[in-house]
Amino acid sequence: LGSDGAVPSHPDFDVVGAMDWRDGIGTLPGSTLRFRINEFGTLEIVSPEEEVTLTFVSHWVLPWLPVPVPGPPGEGVGRPKEEPPGGAEELPSMEGICCCEQCGHYGTAEEFFQEGRFCSDKCARIFTTENLKYDLAGKQRRHQSLGRQETWAEAEPEHASRPRAFTQQWTCKATSTSAARVAYGHVGKRRRLRVPVAAASTTKKRAWTWMLYLEEDKGVAAPVRLFRESQSFPQSRNGFKVGMRLEGIDPKHPSLVCVLSVAEVCGYRVRLHFDGYSECYDFWVNADSPDIHPVGWCEKTNHKLQPPKGHKEEEFAWPAYLKTVKAQAAPRQLFKNQNTTVTPMGFRVGMKLEAVDKKNPALVCVATITDVVDSRFLVHFDTWDDSYDYWCDSSSPYIHPVGWCQEHGRPLTPPQNYSEGKKFSWEKYLEENGAQAAPARAFKQRPTHGFQPGMRLEAVDRRNPTLVCVATIANCDDHRIKVHFDGWSPEYNYWLDADCPDIHPVGWCEKTGHPLQLPVSEYTPLCAR
């Protein structure tokens, strides 16, 4: 310390690393002052009476720094920020300044919400998602109470950060999870809601059921008849086991069929892993998904199989591979698409059509059928890569016969290599490529769905596909619905196709044994499964 009792402001000075730490308490050589790093990542002076007074050292902010532990010489825990130009000056009053528990951002209490815990509702959602994600993954993360008199509800966004060890949690049964609702007002306004811990801990937690929820919220469940067979209640149990091998379509590259293994089973859903690759590519499907096939399917149907990373395609063989990894192939009877009758249709590989680009729905492009499996076929956009491909059937609202754009006054997007100044002609294009148009009679567009705004259902959160949540239909058009997750901000709503396998009728999770992510509730504390 300097003669005036201030910490030196040299830009290379490591204030935390210079301290001697023991049992979470740090001391500076030659000083009787004791410090500790609080839950906000800032230094606090610990008084002899153990009364903690928050002290901001110079202009430095040390966001969420851990207590230093012995390490290699020269290894520091963190570096303070440089003092602003102008030399020493009187520090402004820090009264009313808040620190965001998620991102470490500082601001005034008026700019923050939830009693100054978060700088935005996005940070609040990130904070909560982290807890829910880790609990759902089976990680036991119970924390002792800090003895605070109050705690606040949080909400979650699409990207989770590191867990916070000081988060207050409650645990309850997986079927009765609920949380203190975050009140969302108009844009730019943040409303606060406090839930006393003492009251929450002594009050009996209410069990959540769809019946009670719909009755209290005066809601209506989407009728089961509106859901397709792949969305409705399954007729059999999920027989997949962790470690089983199978073949399946890569959702990011729908033209590829890869070697997969079952990484997780939850209710009627399975998490699939690409053998030899990082878990970050894992994806979830329902057990009756048409995108998965038994071992040997590619060989039987003359499809190219993408082997695991590190294996050569020409040398890969299932029997030898299963023996090497000491795994078993998923039984053929588990795959629903192996036991169905193929419906004849007029689509063949190589036929041309006009198709909507799902990633850019305003575009209708020149497309080709590049694969046919059972009653589905793969749509590929001419001269584009396969990341834009998608599988559909003859009733899809996204495909049209040749000439549809001209008939309906819509612009048709030609292939990339087509000259800009040259007018596209289907007749000439088909002749140049030796192709034929898909017959108009083969297109059998399905009728509009019967979903209505306000109907309740259960839906997968595409930002965190592990979760199936209580949801409401916020809006809809002829063939799509807009899903809103109850209790969360509308900014997380998203559109999906009405036939998407990620939506289910009320009660689907309970029937299939899958955890249901409950809405944030205003009458029960936050519960984590």
Band (pLDDT 50/70/90 cuts) for residue 271 is very high
In the DSSP assignment, the letter for residue 418 is S
Q: Specify the pLDDT at position 168.
A: 31
Q: Specify the pLDDT at position 136.
A: 46
Most confident region among 180-189, 410-419, 471-480 by mean pLDDT: 471-480
Is the pLDDT confidence value at 368 over 60? yes
Q: Specify the pLDDT at position 240.
A: 97
Q: 94 Cβ partners below 8 Å, 6+ apart?
A: 54, 56
For residue 428, give both structure tokens: 């000439």
Q: What is the dihedral of CA 515, 521, 526, 529, to 10 degrees?
A: -10
Q: Specify the pLDDT at position 57.
A: 36
Q: Which residue has the tokens 């209580």?
A: 470
3 or 14, greater pLDDT: 14
Q: Which residue has the tokens 């936050």?
A: 526
Mean pLDDT for the stretch of residues 235-245: 95
- Is residue 272 within 8 A of residue 292, CB to CB? The reply is yes
Mean pLDDT for the stretch of residues 72-93: 40
Is the pLDDT confidence value at 294 over 80? yes
Is the pLDDT confidence value at 191 over 60? no
Q: Specify the pLDDT at position 113.
A: 66
In the DSSP assignment, the letter for residue 331 is P
Question: What is the CA 407 to chain-centroid distance, rounded?
Answer: 40
Angstrom CA distances, 432 to 350, 364, 382, 402, 426, stand at 13, 21, 14, 16, 10
Q: 362 Cβ partners below 8 Å, 6+ apart?
A: none
Q: Specify the pLDDT at position 35.
A: 79
Question: What is the CA 33 to chain-centroid distance, rounded?
Answer: 46
Q: Specify the pLDDT at position 60.
A: 38
Band (pLDDT 50/70/90 cuts) for residue 100 is confident
Average pLDDT over all residues of the chain: 76
pTM: 0.62
Q: Specify the pLDDT at position 247.
A: 98
- Is residue 54 within 8 A of residue 44, CB to CB? The reply is yes
For residue 86, give both structure tokens: 């102008």
Q: Specify the pLDDT at position 340.
A: 54
CATH topology of domain 352-442: SH3 type barrels. (2.30.30)
| CB-neighbour burial class of residue 123 (10 A; exposed 0-12, middle 13-18, buried 19+) | buried
- Is residue 287 within 8 A of residue 270, CB to CB? The reply is yes
Q: Specify the pLDDT at position 282.
A: 96
Neighbours of 52 (CB within 10 A): 12
Please give the angle made by the CA atoms of 114, 176 and 212, to the nearest 5 degrees.
95
Topology alike, domains 245-337 and 455-518: yes
* Radius of gyration from C-alpha coordinates of the chain: 29
d(CA 222, CA 455): 5
Is the pLDDT confidence value at 291 over 60? yes
d(CA 12, CA 61): 15
Is the pLDDT confidence value at 371 over 90? yes
d(CA 340, CA 342): 6
Position 298, amino acid: C
> In the CATH scheme, what is the code of domain 455-518?
2.30.30.140
The residue extents of the domains of the chain are: 1-95, 245-337, 352-442, 455-518
Is the pLDDT confidence value at 182 over 50? no
Is the pLDDT confidence value at 461 over 90? yes
Q: Specify the pLDDT at position 78.
A: 37
151 or 109, greater pLDDT: 109
d(CA 484, CA 498): 14
Is the pLDDT confidence value at 75 over 80? no
Band (pLDDT 50/70/90 cuts) for residue 139 is very low
3-state secondary structure of 27: strand
Give the H or E element holding residue 482.
strand 480-485
Please give the angle made by the CA atoms of 42, 46 and 50, to the nearest 5 degrees.
130
Is the pLDDT confidence value at 309 over 50? yes
In the DSSP assignment, the letter for residue 152 is E
Closest C-alpha to 487, from 517, 509, 516: 517
Task: Cite the beta strand spans of 204-267 per DSSP E.
Answer: 220-221, 245-250, 253-266
Is the pLDDT confidence value at 468 over 60? yes
Band (pLDDT 50/70/90 cuts) for residue 407 is very high
Is the pLDDT confidence value at 2 over 70? no
Q: Specify the pLDDT at position 521.
A: 62
> How does pLDDT run across 499-521, given as a tens digit for each residue?
999 999 999 999 999 999 998 76
Q: Specify the pLDDT at position 31.
A: 75
Mean pLDDT for the stretch of residues 306-332: 94
Q: Specify the pLDDT at position 379.
A: 97
d(CA 400, CA 314): 38
> In the CATH scheme, what is the code of domain 245-337?
2.30.30.140
> How does pLDDT run across 33-71, given as a tens digit for each residue?
887 776 566 677 776 654 333 333 333 333 333 434 444
303 or 343, greater pLDDT: 303
Handedness of CA 337, 343, 349, 351 (dihedral sign): negative
Band (pLDDT 50/70/90 cuts) for residue 27 is confident
Is the pLDDT confidence value at 445 over 90? no
Q: Specify the pLDDT at position 186.
A: 31
Q: Specify the pLDDT at position 111.
A: 72
